[in-house]
Amino acid sequence: MDLPLGACDSPVMGQSLDVDYLVIGAGATGMAFTDALVDHADVRVALVDRRHAPGGHWLKAYPFVRLHQSSTFYGVASTLLGGGRVQTRGPEAGLHERADKAGICSYFADVLADRLEASGRVELLAGCEYVGDRTVVSRISGRRHTVPERCRIVDARYLSPDIPAESPPRFTVGDGARVVPVNFLPHVEEAPGCHVVVGSGKTATDACVWLLANGVDPDAICWIRPREPWMLNRAKIQPEPEIFLGMVADLLQAVAGAPSLPDLFVRLEDLGIMLRIDRSVTPTMAKTPTLATWELDELRSIEDVVRLGHVTTACRGRIDLEQGSIAVPGDALVVDCAADGLKRPPLIPIWRPEVITPQPVRAGFPCFGAALAGYVEATRSDDAEKNRLCPPSPYGNTLADWAQMNLLGLRNAAAFGAEPDIREWSAATALNPARIPPGHDGSAALDDAITRIGAHSGPAVARLAELAAVG
Ligand SMILES: Cc1cc2nc3c(=O)[nH]c(=O)nc-3n(C[C@H](O)[C@H](O)[C@H](O)COP(=O)(O)OP(=O)(O)OC[C@H]3O[C@@H](n4cnc5c(N)ncnc54)[C@H](O)[C@@H]3O)c2cc1C
């Protein structure tokens, strides 16, 4: 590792890096923050990651993963992921492209080389651990590096997801049980008599769809769903402003008149915004990844669904759950998809004296939140003002959490959107789902969406506050 950022040696402290920012984590959050920061301020940044390359959790994701949303909304502000391409074939023809694992990892490698390192102001310290106290240690050479007091620390790992490949099962694995993380599925050498998929989220739906696409009989899949999930209809989360803002207008209108949260979600389902796998069961989980309706049809073909809570023990021939046990074939392959993809640590101010902690600002869309924090850091000097413009917003989990996420996201969008330069910047970045791109021709559908958003925002925010409080 060379250190072009003005490193100087000290026998006591190791090498001191002459940088203005130390960004911990070169995943999507660290990359989006750094990209927007150096695009708008003449500063020097050391990015540090214990992994060998940028890209974060995607480097260890399961091979058949794709973004669940359009590529347009992911990555860094300066460089469009996927070129804005629309799918022309397959069951999602007409919807925007979603990058796969290789596409995401090579995108981040290109952004690092072509934009960040090419600027001469950013260096990635790969294979290095941040150990606290302004100190980074190489996991390869053992060399230590420190950063000066004036250097701001950016914690871009606060919302780093747990992924099955790196998380042990959350249940006991008894003798003879075959339990594998989802990553292992493509490497299985002999088909088992039954696949037992454990988990209710996006990873579990991906695993089920992948098994079915590879010819596994739906009756040979047992799906353990501790909770029923609400998911967003991918067709409504598209970059065209008529589609996205039309969805927002429908959502706000439904929220404003909703008698309760469960009722609201059913109304959103009737509007084609929310999807659930089994219409006879009321979901209690609202992390709301996006799903396509063709995937929904596939998932509904699996009839052996177990709703007995979380798995406690997987043994050969039997699985124990919180509310009972089920028998499974002796050669069943248990596919662990239960890691906590979206975390909900406490909301903290993004700017604190000791550390900057990027978090989503509008509801969801973590890359936009990180890039916005980078832009605001570059263009404002007062931390209190930065926090006023960009309070954090959490991810969803329960229905009440979802209401809270949207309540804060709407309030925050009003705060940062009132600043003319931020409005202009966020209209220019494709990471912002709610933008109307400069030069957009306009349409009657867009005018209608904007009018309805204006009419329903106030009542919707008031109603969300009530719904979030009631839970
Ligand atoms: C399967 C899956 C699909 C997803 N799909 C989408 C999607 O379509 N759209 C969307 O917006 N979001 C999606 N998300 C969520 C999104 O990827 C994440 O919320 C977020 O972007 C993760 O990026 P991150 O940089 O915060 O975390 P990570 O990618 O985990 O990066 C954090 C990095 O910090 C490093 N690190 C941690 N501690 C240290 C330390 N002490 N020293 C050095 N390095 C350290 C880690 O090595 C890691 O590389 C998905 C998540 C998953 C799991």
- Ligand 1 centre and the CA of 431: distance in Å? 16
27 lines ligand 1 (CB under 6 A): yes
Q: Please write down the HEC assignment for all residues of 134-148.
A: CEEEECCCCCEEECC
Q: Which two tokens stand for residue 171?
A: 């249940």
pLDDT digits (tens, 9 = 90+) for 48-76: 999 999 999 999 999 999 999 999 999 99
- Ligand 1 centre and the CA of 127: distance in Å? 16
Q: Which two tokens stand for residue 7?
A: 């490193």
pTM higher than 0.75: yes
C-beta neighbour count of 307 within 10 angstroms: 16
Alpha carbon nearest to ligand 1 atom 25, residue: 27
- Ligand 1 centre and the CA of 255: distance in Å? 31
49 lines ligand 1 (CB under 6 A): yes
Instruction: Select from 48, 49, 140 the residue to mutate for testing ligand 1; criterion: most ligand atoms less than 8 Å from CB.
Output: 49
- Give the integer Cα–Cα distance in Å for 49 and 29: 12
158 lines ligand 1 (CB under 6 A): no
28 lines ligand 1 (CB under 6 A): yes
List the domains of the chain with CATH numbers.
8-161+348-396+410-415 (3.50.50.60), 164-229+290-336 (3.50.50.60)
341 pLDDT tier (thresholds 50, 70, 90): confident
Query: From the alpha carbon of 161, which atom of ligand 1 is closest?
Result: 30
55 lines ligand 1 (CB under 6 A): no
pLDDT digits (tens, 9 = 90+) for 270-305: 999 999 999 999 999 999 999 999 999 999 999 999
pLDDT digits (tens, 9 = 90+) for 10-41: 444 468 999 999 999 999 999 999 999 999 99
6 pLDDT tier (thresholds 50, 70, 90): very low
Q: Is 41 exposed, middle or buried (0-12, 13-18, 19+ CB in 10 A)?
A: middle
- Ligand 1 centre and the CA of 74: distance in Å? 12
339 pLDDT tier (thresholds 50, 70, 90): confident
311 lines ligand 1 (CB under 6 A): no
- Give the integer Cα–Cα distance in Å for 207 and 197: 8
**3 state DSSP class of 378:** helix
- Give the integer Cα–Cα distance in Å for 36 and 127: 24
194 lines ligand 1 (CB under 6 A): no
